[in-house]
Amino acid sequence: MKYKFSALFLAVLLSAETCLPIMANTITEPVAVEVDFSVRRDPETLSASEIIDELYAMEENDSIKRCAKDSSMILTGESPASDFYGTIYVGSYPSSDVFYHHNVALPIGKEEPKASIDGDNYIVLLRWSEISNAENFADNKNALNLLYNTVWDIKEKTAFMPKAEKVNYIMDIIRSHMSFQEGTPGNYATCLQTAVTDCDGSSGLFYIIGINCGLKLKPVLGTYNGASHAWLEVLTNDGWKVADTALNQRLISKEKSAQLGYVHLY
């Protein structure tokens, strides 16, 4: 009886093995589902990756888009953090914008990122203190949720406004919601959460809101009266204009900005 059972079991195994290739051929690859970003969703039900995919859908610089996603997934615990000489390795990117415009490339985090150059690529690094406990992950995800809802609130309010009116509305919202303290640490979504910011955080926040409201924007790093400063340029019907939320400068010409002490570096 034992022999018969063993023989039968072997026959079943052989039969299963011969069928496996046939079964494998019937397996279909998963089909990617296209998400409609024109429909507002509940950020509580979205991952950090999904939120960044939507909010950065209009971002033209792939390095900034990837850095925003990589850093957000690490800082919310959706992807593991890797050590790089005592820091968190976010990623390596071909565009220097992840370094010069990190206020746009990194939405969340309480401390300024570090950077290293590896040949033609720029390595973005974070401090381990950013994720020292589980509460950091939850706080960072809450910051993204707040950002998502804020972007959508303003997007809905400004849907039918002309460009200049949109710029003024966005700037008024940011300036009324947040207090300005130069040198405030933190990236723009974290600054939105704490309601305290500096030129980096306010210009980064304006940027992500603006591109989702249909504005064409460029982040700028330079100096104002000799001090390091960050602001934006907005494409209007009359060309590129300066918009500086921190100093409340609205759609001024580049010539006027130069007279006021702005020096555009990157």
Backbone angles phi, psi at 251, to 5 degrees: 55, 50
The pTM (predicted TM-score) of the whole model is: 0.87
Task: Name, in order, each residue with C-beta under 8 angstroms of 207's C-beta and a sequence gap of 6 or more.
Answer: 103, 104, 188, 217, 219, 232
Token pair of 173, please?
Answer: 């919202």
Per-residue model confidence as pLDDT tens digits over 133-176: 889 999 999 999 999 999 999 999 999 999 999 999 999 999 99
Token pair of 158, please?
Answer: 């400004």
Q: Distance between terminal CA atoms of the chain? A: 83
Collapsed DSSP state (helix, strand, coil) of residue 83: strand
Look-up of token digits 């003024």: 168
Per-residue model confidence as pLDDT tens digits over 48-104: 999 999 999 999 999 999 999 999 999 999 999 999 999 999 999 999 999 999 999
Q: Assign domain 146-264 to a CATH class.
A: alpha beta
Would you list the domain boundaries of the chain? Answer: 43-131, 146-264
CA distances to 36, 130, 143, 196, 198 from 186, rounded to whole Å, are 31, 10, 11, 9, 9
Per-residue model confidence as pLDDT tens digits over 121-142: 999 999 999 999 889 999 999 9
**33, pLDDT greater than 90:** no
